[in-house]
Amino acid sequence: MSFYTVEPAPARLNRSELAVPGSQPQMFEKAAASAADVVFLDLEDAVAPDEKVQARRNIIAASHDIDWGGKTLSVRINGLDTHYMYRDVVDLIEQGSERIDLIMIPKVGTAADVYAVDMLVTQAETAMGRRKRLGFELIIETALGMQNVEAIAAASRRNESLHFGVADYAASTRARTTQIGGVNRDYAVLTDPLEDGRRERHWGDMWHYALARMVVAARANGLRPLDGPFGDFSDPEGFEAAARRAAVLGCEGKWAIHPSQIALANAVMSPSEAEVTRARRILEAMAEAERQGKGAVSLDGRLIDYASIRQAQVLVEKADRIAAG
């Protein structure tokens, strides 16, 4: 282990993150009653320019009036290159309730972007005497943001999570996509001729590098990595396959741009019964070894290494949070 300690972000369930346009207040109650771990109310790209001001009012009212239960509540502000952003932050903090947990910053390009929002949030929070400190969710969705992802991840103590915004990322990098978060048949390997002379085409995951890079930057800074949207909500199998790929790489959750995607994300991002049972047995074996004053931990006749013990702790904590609902 390095002597350097990675401070983990505050622990939250973040298997699913439901996107809700701030201009659609009729959807808020349903979102609050959904099974999503996190709901983000959007002021950015799901809201047309002439609806921005009303959307802000809707969100401020909803932070007071709606019972968000045990959910984490986030608000996606407008980009730093717009004239909406400063008032998004100031009004949310001056007029919104302390029920808001997180601010989501879109299209983060440099560490200085995060620094600038941190400065504004800190001033407004201090002036209002707020007790609760807002955390940050950062969307990595431009070539610039990906180039600077390590510095961005380390830019503020408020940072909690990095999100791969595949739609804007595709636009920024001019990737040849077919649909948001989907695959492209041109990103494929053609095998050499097989025994019978046939050649097979194996489709690949064109987002692998970007997502894997973001996951490393997030984890190296104690943040949660999340995979962003999958646009075709009439394709649950496609969504599930994308979510599984993200989970395998280490993502903690995935966005839901439609309520039907929440249960799929929660299922894929939850540890299985078998995994939880084994993790609990590892921790019991560790406790038993400690009681007996033994340095080495063994289970079913095999030595358990420390990496497995740490993984078991993380998994059991997550399972307990899921059970607590």
- Please report, as residue ranges, which positions from 155 to 214 form the binding site for ligand GLV (by CB under 6 A): 165-168
E-only strand ranges, the chain:
16-21, 38-42, 72-76, 102-105, 135-140, 159-164, 188-190, 201-203, 224-227, 253-256, 297-299, 302-304
Which residue's CB is nearer to ligand GLV, number 109 or number 228? Answer: 228
Query: Does 252 help bind Mg ion (rule: CB under 5 A)?
Result: no
The distance of Cα 126 from the centroid of its chain, to the nearest Å, equals: 27
Strand partners, 304: 297
Query: Does 125 help bind ligand GLV (rule: CB under 6 A)?
Result: no
Which residue's CB is nearer to ligand GLV, number 261 or number 282? Answer: 261
Which SS3 state, helix, strand or coil, does residue 198 take?
Answer: coil
What is the rounded CA–CA span in Å between residue 16 and residue 281?
28
Query: Does 286 help bind ligand GLV (rule: CB under 6 A)?
Result: no
What residue 25 binds from Mg ion, ligand GLV, none (CB within 5 to 8 A, per partner kind)?
Answer: none
What residue 228 binds from ligand GLV, Mg ion, none (CB within 5 to 8 A, per partner kind)?
Answer: ligand GLV
Q: How far is CA 111 from CA 1, 82, 274, in A?
A: 27, 18, 41
Q: Which of 281, 283, 265 is nearest to 273 (CA)?
A: 281
Region near Mg ion per CB under 5 A, out of 73-81, 124-132, 140-148, 195-203: 140-148
Find the shortest distance in angstroms from Cβ 307 to Mg ion: 35
Query: Does 141 help bind ligand GLV (rule: CB under 6 A)?
Result: yes
Q: Which of 137, 168, 227, 252 binds Mg ion (CB under 5 A)?
A: 168
Query: Does 160 help bind Mg ion (rule: CB under 5 A)?
Result: no
- In the numeric block, the tokens 């289970």 are attached to 299
> Site residues (CB under 6 A) for ligand GLV?
139, 141, 165-168, 228-229
